[in-house]
Amino acid sequence: MQVTPELLAHHDRPGPRYTSYPTAVEFAEDFGPAEYAARLDMASQLTITPLSLYVHLPFCESRCSFCGCHVVVTKNTSLADVYLDRLVKEAELVSRRLGERTTLHQYHWGGGTPTYYSPDDLARLHTTLMGMFDMAPGAEVAIEVDPRVTTVEHLEVLRGLGFNRLSMGIQDFDATVQDLIGRHQTVDEAVELHTAARAMGFESINFDLIYGLPGQTDESFATTLEKVTELMPDRLAVYSFAYMPTKVTQQIRIDESRIPDRDTKFRLLTAAVDRLVGRGYVQIGMDHFALPDDDLTIARANGTLSRNFMGYTTKRSPDVVAIGTSGISDVQGAYAQNHKRMTDYYGSVDRGELPIERGIALSPDDLVRRYVITELMCNGTIRADDVENRFGISFTEYFASELASLASPGGAIDEGLVETTDGNLRATELGELFIRNVAMEFDAYMAAHRDSPKPHFSRTV
């Protein structure tokens, strides 16, 4: 792959990660509780169709300066206890709307730090939720854990409850980097947790890494990669650090001069690709790697990989319901986001109202483009006949301007990012590294954001 400085410069611009399309930037407050209730009522009619449920537990004991997640930092556990009461009330509001639509094939706890709570608290929450929902055979039952606060007892209880997948936040093992991002954890903590989870029979263990963090060098990141691959988790998510201090206030504490420049950051990415692929992992989508026998790898090979707010998945679901502050539901052609502020969230739930702050109902054009972008981000290929059969359109006519842009001098085809075969589009190995940029060609909203004085998205390189 010939990655030149000119190619990097050309594609180094703000762009979405496409966990949704349209992105959350397009959500508006004219979509509220009533609109979401109507979508849940529609979803309730699909009684035998499995559902996905995301549970947001936002509490952390300390704040990492790089983190862009919606979190609440406190050591006062009584505040967190009050949150669980409201979370259950919201689940009751949602489940009543869904009626007999209760079977889950994907269930994910994220945060924050879910294991901020005691094992007993987690058990009570899960048991209560399972009084409203039930698990499909073979369901993905996943939780995000922080090695700094997660104990072996946590894992024992979670495994006993039926959790079968762990996602462990590592980010970087280097002491200098940890000092600069305010997140101190040892290799031993990760090893102990990983070893215990393996012994308990968790089906899949994922490690999260971030490249482009302040203080990272080629040598330091290579050492982190070496230590990680010695443990050989089933999956790895290697995320690009999104430095956006105008939107993520805690990033103001980061010394910008210590952040790797564009060329160094790209070398960190390619080093991760080389190291992980060299150890037998398969690159999955934009920023994930999995072992050859992993479900994600098999789904990618079959062209059935999918993606939602919980990440890459083999479980395509027409509806994803999220509960908890800031959670985003994807139900019957609409996105609905919960209140981020705790007081607003509590107030809505206490009034017996779905705690929706904003959202969007997708237009027919949004639905077509969402499918095309998702296929590109997940499976690296857009099959024209598939799109035509699903939506009753002519692919070449519908996307005439986009295809012309791809084929123009300096376009993605000219640069070797995309190949065309029998009318289908396929990202090349080089194109996989710039897949966000390729997907942006099909984004009808991007033109309105290109000249924004305050970028809404992180940079793609």
**pLDDT higher at 461 or 413:** 413
pLDDT for residue 33: 98
453 pLDDT more than 70: no
1 pLDDT more than 70: no
3-state helix/strand/coil string of the chain: CCCCHHHHHHHCCECCCCCCCCCHHHCECCCCHHHHHHHHHHHCCCCCCCEEEEEEECEECCCCCCCCCCCEECCCHHHHHHHHHHHHHHHHHHHHHHCCCCEEEEEEEEECCHHHCCHHHHHHHHHHHCCCCEEEEEEEEEEEECCCCCCHHHHHHHHHHCCCEEEEEEECCCHHHHHHHCCCCCHHHHHHHHHHHHHHCCCEEEEEEEECCCCCCHHHHHHHHHHHHHHCCCEEEEEECCCCCCCCHHHHHCCHHHCCCHHHHHHHHHHHHHHHHHCCCEEECCCEEECCCCHHHHHHHHCCCEEECCEEECCCCCEEEEECCCCEEEECCEEEEECCCHHHHHHHHHCCCCCEEEEEECCHHHHHHHHHHHHHHHHCEECHHHHHHHHCCCHHHHCHHHHHHHHCCCCCCCCCCEEEECCEEEECHHHHHCHHHHHHCCCCCHHHHCCCCCCCCCECC
**In the chain, % of residues over pLDDT 70:** 99
CA atoms within 13 A of residue 455's CA, in its CB half-sphere: 14
347 pLDDT more than 70: yes
What is the mean pLDDT of the segment spanning 216-223? 97
CA distance 130 to 18: 31
Query: Which tens digit of pLDDT belongs to each residue from 61-112?
Result: 888 888 888 889 888 888 899 999 999 999 999 999 999 999 999 999 999 9
Query: Which tens digit of pLDDT belongs to each residue from 144-153?
Result: 999 999 999 9
Residue listed under structure tokens 């005439």: 400
What is the mean pLDDT of the segment spanning 253-282? 93
177 pLDDT more than 90: yes
**Two tokens at 177?**
């980097």
pLDDT band for position 246 (cuts 50, 70, 90): confident
Catalogue all structural domains in the chain, each as residue range(s) with its CATH number: 1-20+363-461 (1.10.10.920), 21-320 (3.80.30.20)
CA distance 389 to 395: 10
CA distance 84 to 58: 11
**Two tokens at 135?**
């698990």
236 pLDDT more than 90: yes
pLDDT band for position 329 (cuts 50, 70, 90): very high
What is the mean pLDDT of the segment spanning 254-280? 93
pLDDT for residue 147: 94
pLDDT for residue 141: 96
Q: Which of 38, 35, 45 is nearest to 99 (CA)?
A: 45
**Two tokens at 181?**
């991002």
Query: Which tens digit of pLDDT belongs to each residue from 384-399?
Result: 999 999 999 999 999 9
Residue 72 has φ and ψ, to the nearest 5°, of -125, 120
Asked whether the beta carbons of 319 and 332 are under 8 A apart, the reply is yes
pLDDT band for position 308 (cuts 50, 70, 90): confident
In angstroms, how far is CA 40 from the centroid of its own chain? Answer: 23
pLDDT for residue 391: 97
What is the mean pLDDT of the segment spanning 354-370? 98
Give 459's strand partners: 14
What is the mean pLDDT of the segment spanning 315-344? 95
316 pLDDT more than 80: no
**pLDDT higher at 260 or 1:** 260
pTM of the model: 0.94
pLDDT for residue 241: 93
Q: Residue 385 — left, alpha, or beta (φ > 0 → left; ψ -120 to 50 → alpha)?
A: alpha
435 pLDDT more than 80: yes
pLDDT for residue 355: 98
CA distance 305 to 284: 9
CA distance 93 to 230: 46
What is the mean pLDDT of the segment spanning 124-135? 97
pLDDT band for position 311 (cuts 50, 70, 90): confident
**Two tokens at 235?**
């999956």
Average pLDDT, the chain: 93
